[in-house]
Structure 1
Amino acid sequence: MDKPSRIYELLLDYAASESPVEALSIGLVWTVCKSEQIGLAMSPGLYTRTLPWSGTLVGKTLGELASWINDWEPYKATVGMAAINCSLNAQSLPAGITLLTPPDGSNLAVFEHFLPQLKDKKVVVIGRYPGIERYAGQLDLSIIERQPIGTDYPDPAYEFLLPTADWVFLTASSITNKTFPRLAELSQHATTVLMGPTVPWLPELHNFGINYLAGIEVVDPIKLYQTVAEGGGVRIFDNSVRYRIVDLTPDSSMAWLKTNISQDYNEKQRLTSAMEHWYASGKKGRFPEFNQLNQVAIRLSRMDSSYKHLWDEQRFGQK
Protein backbone atom coordinates (compact mmCIF):
# COMPACT_ATOMS: atom_id res chain seq x y z
CA MET A 1 0.00 0.00 0.00
CA ASP A 2 1.37 3.39 -1.00
CA LYS A 3 1.70 6.10 1.61
CA PRO A 4 -1.83 7.58 1.41
CA SER A 5 -0.67 11.20 1.52
CA ARG A 6 0.96 10.65 -1.89
CA ILE A 7 -2.48 10.83 -3.45
CA TYR A 8 -2.15 14.61 -3.63
CA GLU A 9 1.03 14.39 -5.69
CA LEU A 10 -0.68 11.90 -7.97
CA LEU A 11 -3.75 14.09 -8.47
CA LEU A 12 -1.66 17.12 -9.37
CA ASP A 13 0.39 15.11 -11.86
CA TYR A 14 -2.80 14.19 -13.67
CA ALA A 15 -4.46 17.59 -13.40
CA ALA A 16 -1.74 19.87 -14.74
CA SER A 17 -3.93 20.95 -17.65
CA GLU A 18 -3.51 24.23 -19.51
CA SER A 19 -7.19 24.26 -20.49
CA PRO A 20 -8.95 27.43 -19.31
CA VAL A 21 -11.84 27.34 -16.88
CA GLU A 22 -15.01 28.40 -18.68
CA ALA A 23 -17.34 28.53 -15.67
CA LEU A 24 -17.33 27.64 -12.00
CA SER A 25 -20.17 27.56 -9.50
CA ILE A 26 -20.08 26.84 -5.78
CA GLY A 27 -23.51 25.44 -5.02
CA LEU A 28 -25.09 24.58 -1.70
CA VAL A 29 -24.06 20.92 -1.99
CA TRP A 30 -21.71 20.62 -4.96
CA THR A 31 -19.06 22.73 -6.62
CA VAL A 32 -18.87 22.38 -10.39
CA CYS A 33 -15.99 23.32 -12.68
CA LYS A 34 -16.49 23.53 -16.44
CA SER A 35 -13.85 23.52 -19.14
CA GLU A 36 -13.78 21.11 -22.08
CA GLN A 37 -15.29 18.66 -19.58
CA ILE A 38 -17.05 19.11 -16.26
CA GLY A 39 -15.99 18.09 -12.76
CA LEU A 40 -17.64 18.00 -9.34
CA ALA A 41 -16.60 18.19 -5.71
CA MET A 42 -18.71 18.40 -2.58
CA SER A 43 -19.01 21.97 -1.28
CA PRO A 44 -17.79 22.66 2.26
CA GLY A 45 -21.22 23.49 3.67
CA LEU A 46 -19.81 26.45 5.56
CA TYR A 47 -21.28 29.93 5.37
CA THR A 48 -18.94 32.71 4.28
CA ARG A 49 -19.19 36.19 2.80
CA THR A 50 -15.49 36.92 2.43
CA LEU A 51 -13.99 34.71 -0.29
CA PRO A 52 -11.25 37.00 -1.66
CA TRP A 53 -11.02 35.38 -5.11
CA SER A 54 -14.68 35.34 -6.16
CA GLY A 55 -15.08 36.70 -9.68
CA THR A 56 -11.47 35.93 -10.69
CA LEU A 57 -11.45 32.20 -11.51
CA VAL A 58 -12.87 32.02 -15.03
CA GLY A 59 -9.99 32.10 -17.50
CA LYS A 60 -7.46 30.56 -15.13
CA THR A 61 -6.11 27.18 -16.17
CA LEU A 62 -7.33 23.95 -14.63
CA GLY A 63 -3.78 23.33 -13.47
CA GLU A 64 -3.72 26.61 -11.55
CA LEU A 65 -6.91 25.82 -9.70
CA ALA A 66 -6.00 22.15 -9.21
CA SER A 67 -3.04 23.23 -7.06
CA TRP A 68 -5.54 24.54 -4.52
CA ILE A 69 -6.20 20.95 -3.41
CA ASN A 70 -3.20 21.35 -1.09
CA ASP A 71 -4.74 24.36 0.63
CA TRP A 72 -6.29 24.01 4.08
CA GLU A 73 -8.93 26.65 3.41
CA PRO A 74 -11.98 24.47 2.64
CA TYR A 75 -13.38 26.49 -0.26
CA LYS A 76 -10.04 26.69 -2.06
CA ALA A 77 -9.49 22.95 -1.60
CA THR A 78 -12.97 22.26 -2.96
CA VAL A 79 -12.38 24.37 -6.05
CA GLY A 80 -9.09 22.51 -6.50
CA MET A 81 -10.82 19.13 -6.32
CA ALA A 82 -13.49 20.16 -8.82
CA ALA A 83 -10.76 21.35 -11.22
CA ILE A 84 -8.91 18.05 -10.80
CA ASN A 85 -12.01 16.06 -11.66
CA CYS A 86 -12.64 18.32 -14.63
CA SER A 87 -9.15 17.47 -15.92
CA LEU A 88 -9.50 13.75 -15.24
CA ASN A 89 -12.84 13.57 -17.01
CA ALA A 90 -11.08 14.33 -20.29
CA GLN A 91 -9.87 10.71 -20.15
CA SER A 92 -12.05 7.80 -21.18
CA LEU A 93 -14.06 6.30 -18.35
CA PRO A 94 -12.92 2.86 -17.21
CA ALA A 95 -14.88 -0.30 -17.82
CA GLY A 96 -17.39 -0.83 -15.05
CA ILE A 97 -21.00 -1.29 -14.08
CA THR A 98 -23.39 1.60 -14.60
CA LEU A 99 -26.03 1.48 -11.88
CA LEU A 100 -29.69 1.84 -12.65
CA THR A 101 -31.48 4.43 -10.58
CA PRO A 102 -33.56 2.90 -7.76
CA PRO A 103 -37.09 4.35 -7.74
CA ASP A 104 -36.86 5.55 -4.14
CA GLY A 105 -33.33 6.80 -3.56
CA SER A 106 -31.00 7.29 -6.51
CA ASN A 107 -28.15 8.49 -4.31
CA LEU A 108 -28.27 5.12 -2.52
CA ALA A 109 -27.68 3.07 -5.67
CA VAL A 110 -24.18 2.11 -4.52
CA PHE A 111 -25.44 0.61 -1.27
CA GLU A 112 -28.20 -1.25 -3.12
CA HIS A 113 -25.57 -2.72 -5.44
CA PHE A 114 -23.37 -4.05 -2.64
CA LEU A 115 -26.18 -4.97 -0.23
CA PRO A 116 -26.07 -8.76 -0.85
CA GLN A 117 -22.36 -8.79 0.06
CA LEU A 118 -22.85 -6.82 3.27
CA LYS A 119 -25.06 -9.27 5.14
CA ASP A 120 -23.46 -10.39 8.43
CA LYS A 121 -20.56 -8.00 7.85
CA LYS A 122 -19.42 -5.08 9.95
CA VAL A 123 -20.05 -2.05 7.74
CA VAL A 124 -18.74 1.44 8.40
CA VAL A 125 -19.85 4.38 6.27
CA ILE A 126 -17.88 7.63 6.36
CA GLY A 127 -20.34 10.41 5.69
CA ARG A 128 -24.11 10.44 6.04
CA TYR A 129 -25.97 9.76 2.81
CA PRO A 130 -29.60 10.93 2.76
CA GLY A 131 -31.86 7.94 3.42
CA ILE A 132 -29.09 5.56 4.50
CA GLU A 133 -30.84 4.89 7.79
CA ARG A 134 -33.12 2.48 5.90
CA TYR A 135 -30.33 -0.11 6.12
CA ALA A 136 -29.90 0.13 9.89
CA GLY A 137 -32.21 -2.82 10.52
CA GLN A 138 -30.63 -4.96 7.81
CA LEU A 139 -26.92 -4.47 8.50
CA ASP A 140 -24.39 -4.11 11.28
CA LEU A 141 -24.03 -0.48 10.22
CA SER A 142 -22.05 2.36 11.76
CA ILE A 143 -22.11 5.87 10.28
CA ILE A 144 -19.35 8.35 11.02
CA GLU A 145 -20.25 11.96 10.31
CA ARG A 146 -18.50 15.29 10.88
CA GLN A 147 -21.83 16.75 11.99
CA PRO A 148 -23.46 13.70 13.61
CA ILE A 149 -27.19 13.33 14.14
CA GLY A 150 -29.13 10.58 15.86
CA THR A 151 -27.01 7.45 16.20
CA ASP A 152 -24.16 8.74 14.01
CA TYR A 153 -20.66 8.58 15.42
CA PRO A 154 -18.43 11.69 15.48
CA ASP A 155 -15.16 11.85 13.55
CA PRO A 156 -12.87 10.52 16.33
CA ALA A 157 -14.74 7.20 16.24
CA TYR A 158 -12.98 6.17 13.04
CA GLU A 159 -9.84 5.38 15.04
CA PHE A 160 -11.85 2.69 16.84
CA LEU A 161 -14.32 1.46 14.21
CA LEU A 162 -12.31 1.24 11.00
CA PRO A 163 -9.58 -1.23 12.05
CA THR A 164 -12.19 -3.93 12.76
CA ALA A 165 -14.57 -3.19 9.88
CA ASP A 166 -15.23 -5.73 7.12
CA TRP A 167 -16.47 -3.11 4.65
CA VAL A 168 -15.77 0.62 4.57
CA PHE A 169 -17.64 3.09 2.37
CA LEU A 170 -15.42 6.13 2.26
CA THR A 171 -16.66 9.45 0.94
CA ALA A 172 -14.30 10.92 -1.64
CA SER A 173 -14.75 14.33 -0.01
CA SER A 174 -12.21 12.96 2.49
CA ILE A 175 -9.60 13.73 -0.17
CA THR A 176 -10.63 17.38 -0.17
CA ASN A 177 -10.71 17.76 3.61
CA LYS A 178 -7.39 15.88 4.02
CA THR A 179 -8.75 13.03 6.15
CA PHE A 180 -8.23 10.49 3.35
CA PRO A 181 -4.65 9.51 4.29
CA ARG A 182 -5.59 8.45 7.81
CA LEU A 183 -8.92 6.89 6.83
CA ALA A 184 -7.30 4.83 4.06
CA GLU A 185 -4.59 3.67 6.45
CA LEU A 186 -7.12 2.58 9.08
CA SER A 187 -9.25 0.80 6.46
CA GLN A 188 -6.49 -1.25 4.87
CA HIS A 189 -7.80 -4.56 6.23
CA ALA A 190 -11.36 -3.93 5.03
CA THR A 191 -12.94 -4.04 1.59
CA THR A 192 -12.98 -0.32 0.85
CA VAL A 193 -15.26 1.55 -1.53
CA LEU A 194 -14.32 5.13 -2.37
CA MET A 195 -17.59 6.73 -3.39
CA GLY A 196 -19.49 9.84 -4.34
CA PRO A 197 -19.46 12.47 -7.11
CA THR A 198 -16.09 13.71 -5.82
CA VAL A 199 -14.37 10.42 -6.78
CA PRO A 200 -11.38 11.01 -9.09
CA TRP A 201 -11.18 8.39 -11.84
CA LEU A 202 -7.67 7.04 -11.26
CA PRO A 203 -6.57 3.40 -11.55
CA GLU A 204 -3.69 4.07 -9.14
CA LEU A 205 -6.15 4.33 -6.25
CA HIS A 206 -5.72 0.56 -6.06
CA ASN A 207 -2.29 1.31 -4.58
CA PHE A 208 -3.90 3.16 -1.67
CA GLY A 209 -5.97 0.19 -0.53
CA ILE A 210 -9.13 1.08 -2.45
CA ASN A 211 -10.97 -1.98 -3.77
CA TYR A 212 -13.82 -0.28 -5.59
CA LEU A 213 -14.51 3.13 -7.04
CA ALA A 214 -18.13 4.26 -7.02
CA GLY A 215 -18.00 7.54 -8.90
CA ILE A 216 -20.23 9.21 -11.42
CA GLU A 217 -20.54 9.37 -15.17
CA VAL A 218 -22.05 12.58 -16.47
CA VAL A 219 -25.16 12.07 -18.58
CA ASP A 220 -26.12 15.70 -19.21
CA PRO A 221 -23.41 18.29 -18.40
CA ILE A 222 -25.66 21.27 -19.14
CA LYS A 223 -28.38 20.03 -16.80
CA LEU A 224 -25.77 19.10 -14.20
CA TYR A 225 -24.30 22.60 -14.14
CA GLN A 226 -27.76 24.15 -13.88
CA THR A 227 -28.87 21.79 -11.10
CA VAL A 228 -25.74 22.44 -9.05
CA ALA A 229 -25.94 26.21 -9.54
CA GLU A 230 -29.58 26.13 -8.42
CA GLY A 231 -28.70 24.40 -5.15
CA GLY A 232 -29.31 20.78 -6.14
CA GLY A 233 -28.02 17.97 -3.95
CA VAL A 234 -29.28 14.43 -4.56
CA ARG A 235 -31.31 15.85 -7.44
CA ILE A 236 -28.24 15.61 -9.68
CA PHE A 237 -28.96 11.86 -9.81
CA ASP A 238 -32.39 12.43 -11.36
CA ASN A 239 -31.20 13.22 -14.87
CA SER A 240 -27.62 14.55 -14.80
CA VAL A 241 -25.34 11.79 -13.51
CA ARG A 242 -25.31 8.06 -12.83
CA TYR A 243 -23.17 5.99 -10.51
CA ARG A 244 -20.56 3.72 -12.04
CA ILE A 245 -18.82 0.93 -10.10
CA VAL A 246 -15.26 -0.04 -11.00
CA ASP A 247 -13.68 -3.08 -9.36
CA LEU A 248 -10.00 -2.24 -8.89
CA THR A 249 -8.64 -5.74 -9.33
CA PRO A 250 -5.07 -5.96 -10.61
CA ASP A 251 -6.39 -7.04 -14.03
CA SER A 252 -8.88 -4.20 -14.37
CA SER A 253 -6.44 -1.62 -13.04
CA MET A 254 -3.76 -2.80 -15.47
CA ALA A 255 -6.18 -2.65 -18.41
CA TRP A 256 -7.23 0.85 -17.39
CA LEU A 257 -3.61 1.93 -17.01
CA LYS A 258 -2.75 0.54 -20.45
CA THR A 259 -5.49 2.68 -21.99
CA ASN A 260 -4.27 5.81 -20.19
CA ILE A 261 -0.63 5.05 -21.03
CA SER A 262 -1.54 4.70 -24.70
CA GLN A 263 -3.40 8.02 -24.71
CA ASP A 264 -0.58 9.87 -22.96
CA TYR A 265 2.09 8.23 -25.13
CA ASN A 266 0.33 9.49 -28.25
CA GLU A 267 0.09 12.94 -26.69
CA LYS A 268 3.79 12.86 -25.83
CA GLN A 269 4.63 11.92 -29.42
CA ARG A 270 2.50 14.79 -30.71
CA LEU A 271 4.11 17.32 -28.39
CA THR A 272 7.63 16.04 -29.07
CA SER A 273 7.06 16.33 -32.82
CA ALA A 274 5.67 19.84 -32.39
CA MET A 275 8.71 20.84 -30.33
CA GLU A 276 11.10 19.48 -32.96
CA HIS A 277 9.32 21.48 -35.66
CA TRP A 278 9.39 24.56 -33.43
CA TYR A 279 13.17 24.54 -33.09
CA ALA A 280 13.78 23.28 -36.66
CA SER A 281 11.98 26.36 -37.96
CA GLY A 282 14.59 28.54 -36.28
CA LYS A 283 12.45 29.80 -33.44
CA LYS A 284 14.18 30.80 -30.24
CA GLY A 285 13.15 30.60 -26.65
CA ARG A 286 11.20 28.00 -24.80
CA PHE A 287 8.79 25.74 -26.65
CA PRO A 288 5.29 27.08 -25.75
CA GLU A 289 3.94 23.65 -24.79
CA PHE A 290 6.99 22.54 -22.82
CA ASN A 291 5.05 22.41 -19.54
CA GLN A 292 2.44 20.11 -21.05
CA LEU A 293 5.16 17.85 -22.45
CA ASN A 294 6.88 17.69 -19.08
CA GLN A 295 3.65 16.84 -17.27
CA VAL A 296 2.81 14.08 -19.76
CA ALA A 297 6.27 12.60 -19.18
CA ILE A 298 5.72 12.69 -15.40
CA ARG A 299 2.34 10.99 -15.73
CA LEU A 300 3.78 8.30 -17.98
CA SER A 301 6.54 7.61 -15.48
CA ARG A 302 4.02 7.27 -12.65
CA MET A 303 1.74 5.02 -14.68
CA ASP A 304 4.64 2.81 -15.75
CA SER A 305 5.65 2.39 -12.10
CA SER A 306 2.08 1.62 -11.07
CA TYR A 307 1.69 -0.90 -13.88
CA LYS A 308 4.92 -2.66 -12.86
CA HIS A 309 3.75 -2.74 -9.24
CA LEU A 310 0.48 -4.40 -10.28
CA TRP A 311 2.31 -6.81 -12.58
CA ASP A 312 4.65 -7.86 -9.77
CA GLU A 313 1.73 -8.19 -7.36
CA GLN A 314 -0.16 -10.40 -9.77
CA ARG A 315 2.79 -12.52 -10.86
CA PHE A 316 4.84 -12.83 -7.70
CA GLY A 317 2.38 -11.92 -4.96
CA GLN A 318 4.40 -8.83 -4.02
CA LYS A 319 2.52 -6.07 -2.21
Structure 2
Amino acid sequence: MRVRSQEIYNLLLKSSQTNVLIQEIIVGLTWTYCQAEGIGLCMSPGQANRTLPWSGTLVNTAIANIAPWLKSWDSYEATVAMAAINAVINPSSPLLASAQPIYPKGSANLAVFEHFLPLIRGKKVVTIGRYPGLSEYEQEVDMTVLERQPSNQDLPDTACEYLLPEADWVFLTATSIVNKTFPRLVELSQNAQLVLMGPTVPWLSDLADMGIDYLAGVAVANPEALRQTIAEGGGTRIFDRGVRYHILKL
Protein backbone atom coordinates (compact mmCIF):
# COMPACT_ATOMS: atom_id res chain seq x y z
CA MET A 1 0.00 0.00 0.00
CA ARG A 2 1.41 3.39 -1.00
CA VAL A 3 2.24 5.79 1.81
CA ARG A 4 0.76 9.27 1.51
CA SER A 5 3.44 11.73 0.41
CA GLN A 6 2.56 14.08 3.28
CA GLU A 7 4.21 11.50 5.51
CA ILE A 8 7.63 12.64 4.23
CA TYR A 9 7.81 15.08 7.13
CA ASN A 10 7.12 12.51 9.85
CA LEU A 11 9.53 10.12 8.15
CA LEU A 12 12.34 12.67 8.14
CA LEU A 13 11.77 13.62 11.77
CA LYS A 14 11.71 9.96 12.80
CA SER A 15 14.95 9.33 10.88
CA SER A 16 16.78 12.17 12.60
CA GLN A 17 16.06 11.48 16.26
CA THR A 18 19.58 11.76 17.60
CA ASN A 19 21.39 13.69 20.29
CA VAL A 20 24.31 14.29 17.93
CA LEU A 21 25.30 17.94 18.18
CA ILE A 22 25.57 20.47 15.38
CA GLN A 23 29.19 21.50 14.94
CA GLU A 24 28.66 24.18 12.32
CA ILE A 25 25.94 25.79 10.22
CA ILE A 26 26.70 27.91 7.16
CA VAL A 27 23.82 29.64 5.42
CA GLY A 28 25.42 30.40 2.06
CA LEU A 29 24.01 32.31 -0.88
CA THR A 30 22.91 29.12 -2.62
CA TRP A 31 23.47 26.24 -0.19
CA THR A 32 23.02 25.74 3.53
CA TYR A 33 25.59 23.45 5.12
CA CYS A 34 25.40 21.48 8.37
CA GLN A 35 28.40 19.72 9.88
CA ALA A 36 27.63 17.18 12.59
CA GLU A 37 29.10 13.66 12.52
CA GLY A 38 28.59 14.01 8.77
CA ILE A 39 27.66 16.77 6.34
CA GLY A 40 24.15 17.68 5.21
CA LEU A 41 23.04 20.16 2.56
CA CYS A 42 19.92 22.05 1.60
CA MET A 43 19.31 24.78 -0.94
CA SER A 44 19.16 28.17 0.77
CA PRO A 45 16.09 30.43 0.60
CA GLY A 46 16.16 32.88 -2.25
CA GLN A 47 15.48 35.97 -0.19
CA ALA A 48 17.81 37.71 2.27
CA ASN A 49 16.99 38.10 5.96
CA ARG A 50 18.87 40.41 8.32
CA THR A 51 16.96 39.53 11.50
CA LEU A 52 17.24 35.77 12.06
CA PRO A 53 16.61 35.49 15.81
CA TRP A 54 18.60 32.28 16.32
CA SER A 55 21.78 33.11 14.43
CA GLY A 56 24.84 32.54 16.60
CA THR A 57 23.09 29.95 18.80
CA LEU A 58 22.88 26.69 16.82
CA VAL A 59 26.32 25.16 17.41
CA ASN A 60 26.19 22.44 20.09
CA THR A 61 22.42 22.10 19.68
CA ALA A 62 21.14 18.53 19.29
CA ILE A 63 19.90 17.79 15.79
CA ALA A 64 16.74 16.26 17.27
CA ASN A 65 15.88 19.69 18.66
CA ILE A 66 16.34 21.44 15.30
CA ALA A 67 14.71 18.81 13.06
CA PRO A 68 11.09 19.86 13.91
CA TRP A 69 11.79 23.19 12.21
CA LEU A 70 11.27 21.26 8.96
CA LYS A 71 7.52 21.75 9.48
CA SER A 72 7.95 25.50 9.95
CA TRP A 73 6.62 27.95 7.37
CA ASP A 74 9.69 30.10 8.01
CA SER A 75 11.90 29.24 5.03
CA TYR A 76 15.17 29.69 6.93
CA GLU A 77 14.11 27.47 9.81
CA ALA A 78 12.94 24.74 7.42
CA THR A 79 16.18 24.99 5.41
CA VAL A 80 18.44 24.67 8.44
CA ALA A 81 16.36 21.72 9.64
CA MET A 82 16.65 19.93 6.30
CA ALA A 83 20.42 20.39 6.20
CA ALA A 84 20.66 19.06 9.76
CA ILE A 85 18.44 16.07 8.96
CA ASN A 86 20.54 15.26 5.90
CA ALA A 87 23.66 15.42 8.07
CA VAL A 88 22.19 12.50 10.03
CA ILE A 89 20.68 10.44 7.22
CA ASN A 90 22.98 10.73 4.24
CA PRO A 91 26.56 10.06 5.42
CA SER A 92 25.66 6.54 6.60
CA SER A 93 22.86 5.73 4.15
CA PRO A 94 23.18 2.26 2.57
CA LEU A 95 21.26 3.59 -0.43
CA LEU A 96 23.88 6.20 -1.15
CA ALA A 97 26.59 3.59 -0.69
CA SER A 98 24.96 1.46 -3.41
CA ALA A 99 24.03 4.29 -5.78
CA GLN A 100 25.76 4.77 -9.13
CA PRO A 101 28.20 7.70 -9.28
CA ILE A 102 27.94 9.81 -12.42
CA TYR A 103 30.99 10.97 -14.36
CA PRO A 104 29.52 13.47 -16.83
CA LYS A 105 31.13 14.61 -20.04
CA GLY A 106 29.40 17.99 -19.80
CA SER A 107 28.48 20.33 -16.96
CA ALA A 108 28.67 18.58 -13.60
CA ASN A 109 25.59 20.38 -12.25
CA LEU A 110 23.56 18.95 -15.18
CA ALA A 111 24.89 15.41 -14.80
CA VAL A 112 21.44 14.02 -13.98
CA PHE A 113 19.96 15.22 -17.26
CA GLU A 114 22.95 13.91 -19.22
CA HIS A 115 22.52 10.51 -17.55
CA PHE A 116 18.80 10.24 -18.34
CA LEU A 117 19.00 11.72 -21.84
CA PRO A 118 18.75 8.36 -23.69
CA LEU A 119 15.57 7.54 -21.73
CA ILE A 120 13.79 10.88 -22.04
CA ARG A 121 14.24 11.59 -25.75
CA GLY A 122 10.83 11.52 -27.40
CA LYS A 123 9.03 11.75 -24.04
CA LYS A 124 7.08 14.53 -22.38
CA VAL A 125 9.37 15.85 -19.67
CA VAL A 126 8.58 18.35 -16.92
CA THR A 127 11.34 19.78 -14.74
CA ILE A 128 10.55 21.57 -11.50
CA GLY A 129 13.08 24.38 -11.25
CA ARG A 130 15.29 26.21 -13.75
CA TYR A 131 18.75 24.63 -13.49
CA PRO A 132 21.61 26.82 -14.79
CA GLY A 133 22.48 25.75 -18.33
CA LEU A 134 19.39 23.56 -18.73
CA SER A 135 18.58 25.10 -22.12
CA GLU A 136 21.26 22.77 -23.54
CA TYR A 137 18.89 19.84 -22.96
CA GLU A 138 15.69 21.68 -23.83
CA GLN A 139 16.96 21.70 -27.43
CA GLU A 140 17.14 17.89 -27.44
CA VAL A 141 14.08 16.96 -25.38
CA ASP A 142 10.40 17.95 -25.24
CA MET A 143 10.91 19.62 -21.86
CA THR A 144 8.83 22.16 -19.95
CA VAL A 145 10.32 23.94 -16.94
CA LEU A 146 8.10 25.14 -14.09
CA GLU A 147 9.38 27.95 -11.90
CA ARG A 148 7.98 29.90 -8.96
CA GLN A 149 9.64 32.99 -10.47
CA PRO A 150 9.47 32.12 -14.18
CA SER A 151 11.55 33.66 -16.92
CA ASN A 152 10.24 33.92 -20.49
CA GLN A 153 11.54 30.36 -21.00
CA ASP A 154 9.45 28.89 -18.17
CA LEU A 155 5.87 28.38 -17.08
CA PRO A 156 4.67 29.37 -13.59
CA ASP A 157 4.58 26.62 -11.00
CA THR A 158 0.76 26.74 -11.00
CA ALA A 159 0.90 25.00 -14.39
CA CYS A 160 1.82 21.82 -12.48
CA GLU A 161 -1.88 21.01 -12.08
CA TYR A 162 -2.23 20.70 -15.86
CA LEU A 163 1.16 19.40 -17.02
CA LEU A 164 2.34 16.87 -14.46
CA PRO A 165 -0.52 14.35 -14.91
CA GLU A 166 0.31 14.20 -18.65
CA ALA A 167 4.10 13.93 -18.26
CA ASP A 168 6.15 10.81 -18.98
CA TRP A 169 9.09 11.96 -16.84
CA VAL A 170 9.21 14.49 -14.00
CA PHE A 171 12.42 15.84 -12.47
CA LEU A 172 11.51 17.17 -9.04
CA THR A 173 13.89 19.24 -6.94
CA ALA A 174 14.15 17.98 -3.37
CA THR A 175 13.83 21.60 -2.24
CA SER A 176 10.11 20.93 -2.72
CA ILE A 177 10.25 19.10 0.62
CA VAL A 178 11.37 22.29 2.34
CA ASN A 179 8.89 24.64 0.66
CA LYS A 180 6.05 22.16 1.29
CA THR A 181 5.10 21.62 -2.37
CA PHE A 182 6.43 18.02 -2.35
CA PRO A 183 3.15 16.25 -1.44
CA ARG A 184 1.07 17.83 -4.20
CA LEU A 185 3.77 17.61 -6.88
CA VAL A 186 4.31 13.92 -6.12
CA GLU A 187 0.57 13.28 -6.20
CA LEU A 188 0.28 14.93 -9.60
CA SER A 189 3.24 12.97 -11.00
CA GLN A 190 2.02 9.44 -10.33
CA ASN A 191 1.68 8.61 -14.04
CA ALA A 192 5.31 9.60 -14.71
CA GLN A 193 8.75 8.28 -13.95
CA LEU A 194 9.57 10.56 -11.02
CA VAL A 195 13.15 11.59 -10.25
CA LEU A 196 13.81 13.36 -6.94
CA MET A 197 17.03 15.27 -7.41
CA GLY A 198 19.56 17.73 -6.03
CA PRO A 199 21.92 18.06 -3.05
CA THR A 200 18.86 18.37 -0.77
CA VAL A 201 17.84 14.72 -1.45
CA PRO A 202 17.56 12.55 1.67
CA TRP A 203 18.70 9.02 0.84
CA LEU A 204 15.77 7.03 2.24
CA SER A 205 14.27 3.87 0.76
CA ASP A 206 10.80 4.80 2.08
CA LEU A 207 10.54 7.41 -0.67
CA ALA A 208 9.71 4.57 -3.05
CA ASP A 209 6.44 4.05 -1.16
CA MET A 210 5.54 7.68 -1.86
CA GLY A 211 5.92 7.33 -5.62
CA ILE A 212 9.55 8.30 -6.16
CA ASP A 213 11.16 6.11 -8.85
CA TYR A 214 14.73 7.43 -8.79
CA LEU A 215 16.91 9.28 -6.31
CA ALA A 216 19.49 11.57 -7.89
CA GLY A 217 21.34 13.14 -4.99
CA VAL A 218 24.93 13.80 -4.07
CA ALA A 219 27.76 12.31 -2.09
CA VAL A 220 30.41 14.53 -0.54
CA ALA A 221 33.62 14.09 -2.51
CA ASN A 222 35.83 16.73 -0.89
CA PRO A 223 34.56 18.09 2.46
CA GLU A 224 37.08 20.94 2.65
CA ALA A 225 36.41 22.14 -0.89
CA LEU A 226 32.65 21.85 -0.34
CA ARG A 227 32.69 23.93 2.83
CA GLN A 228 34.91 26.61 1.34
CA THR A 229 32.87 26.86 -1.85
CA ILE A 230 29.60 27.23 0.05
CA ALA A 231 31.11 29.75 2.49
CA GLU A 232 32.38 31.79 -0.46
CA GLY A 233 28.92 31.95 -2.04
CA GLY A 234 29.26 29.10 -4.52
CA GLY A 235 26.27 27.63 -6.34
CA THR A 236 26.97 25.24 -9.22
CA ARG A 237 30.66 25.35 -8.24
CA ILE A 238 30.05 22.75 -5.53
CA PHE A 239 29.73 20.13 -8.28
CA ASP A 240 33.24 20.81 -9.57
CA ARG A 241 35.03 19.29 -6.57
CA GLY A 242 32.83 19.33 -3.47
CA VAL A 243 30.10 16.82 -4.36
CA ARG A 244 29.30 14.24 -7.03
CA TYR A 245 25.88 13.18 -8.27
CA HIS A 246 24.81 9.58 -7.64
CA ILE A 247 21.68 7.88 -9.03
CA LEU A 248 19.65 4.99 -7.69
CA LYS A 249 16.50 3.37 -9.06
CA LEU A 250 14.21 2.58 -6.14
What TM-score, normalized by structure 2, do the two folds share? 0.97
Residue of structure 2 equivalent to 1:190: 192
Contact kept? 1:3, 1:208, Cα under 8 Å: yes
User: In structure 2, how many angstroms separate the alpha carbons of the residues matched to 1:196 and 1:147?
Assistant: 19
User: In structure 2, how many angstroms separate the alpha carbons of the residues matched to 1:93 and 1:231?
Assistant: 31
222-231 or 109-118, which deviates more: 222-231
- Pairwise CA distance, 1:119: 1.0
Residue of structure 2 equivalent to 1:98: 101
What is the one-letter code of the residue matched to 1:36? Answer: E
- Pairwise CA distance, 1:56: 0.6
Contact kept? 2:93, 2:204, Cα under 8 Å: no
Contact kept? 2:104, 2:114, Cα under 8 Å: no
Matches within 5 A, 1:70-89: 70-89=71-90
Residue of structure 1 equivalent to 2:23: 22
User: In structure 2, how many angstroms separate the alpha carbons of the residues matched to 1:33 and 1:92?
Assistant: 17
31-40 or 221-230, which deviates more: 221-230
- Report 1 or 2 for greater relative contact order, CA contacts < 8 Å, sequence distance ≥ 6: 2
Matches within 5 A, 1:20-169: 20-94=21-95, 95-102=98-105, 104-169=106-171
What is the one-letter code of the residue matched to 1:221? Answer: P
- Pairwise CA distance, 1:106: 0.7
Larger Rg: 1
What is the one-letter code of the residue matched to 1:24? Answer: I
CA RMSD of aligned residues (A): 0.9
User: In structure 2, how many angstroms separate the alpha carbons of the residues matched to 1:17 and 1:107?
Assistant: 32
Contact kept? 1:145, 1:154, Cα under 8 Å: yes
What is the one-letter code of the residue matched to 2:56? Answer: G
Could you list the structure 1 runs, at least 4 aligned residues long, displaced by more than 6 angstroms after superposition: none
Unpaired runs of 5+ residues, structure 2, are none
- Pairwise CA distance, 1:149: 0.8
Residue of structure 2 equivalent to 1:225: 227
Contact kept? 1:101, 1:242, Cα under 8 Å: no
Task: Report the secondary structure of 2:155's partner residue.
Answer: coil
What is the one-letter code of the residue matched to 2:101? Answer: T
Residue of structure 2 equivalent to 1:199: 201
What is the one-letter code of the residue matched to 1:52? Answer: P
User: In structure 2, how many angstroms separate the alpha carbons of the residues matched to 1:118 and 1:69?
Assistant: 33
Task: Report the secondary structure of 1:20's partner residue.
Answer: coil
- Pairwise CA distance, 1:180: 0.0
> How many residues of Structure 1 are paired with residues of Structure 2 in the alignment?
247
Residue of structure 2 equivalent to 1:263: none
Percent identity, aligned pairs only, is 54
Q: Summarize deviations over 1:237-260 as a string: whole Å, max 9, x none.
A: 111100000110xxxxxxxxxxxx
Unpaired runs of 5+ residues, structure 1, are 249-319
- Pairwise CA distance, 1:63: 1.1
Contact kept? 2:93, 2:203, Cα under 8 Å: no
What TM-score, normalized by structure 1, do the two folds share? 0.76
- Give the structure with the larger helix fraction: 1
- Give the structure with the larger strand fraction: 2
User: In structure 2, how many angstroms separate the alpha carbons of the residues matched to 1:150 and 1:171?
Assistant: 20
User: In structure 1, how many angstroms separate the alpha carbons of the residues matched to 2:206 and 2:219?
Assistant: 19
User: In structure 2, how many angstroms separate the alpha carbons of the residues matched to 1:178 and 1:147?
Assistant: 16
- Pairwise CA distance, 1:89: 2.3
Q: Summarize deviations over 1:141-194 as a string: whole Å, max 9, x none.
A: 000011111220111000011000000000000000000000000001100000
- Pairwise CA distance, 1:101: 3.5
User: In structure 2, how many angstroms separate the alpha carbons of the residues matched to 1:18 and 1:135?
Assistant: 44
Residue of structure 1 equivalent to 2:7: 6
User: In structure 2, how many angstroms separate the alpha carbons of the residues matched to 1:241 and 1:194?
Assistant: 17
- Pairwise CA distance, 1:92: 3.6
- Pairwise CA distance, 1:41: 0.1
- Pairwise CA distance, 1:125: 0.1
User: In structure 2, how many angstroms separate the alpha carbons of the residues matched to 1:247 and 1:17?
Assistant: 28
User: In structure 2, how many angstroms separate the alpha carbons of the residues matched to 1:57 and 1:211?
Assistant: 35
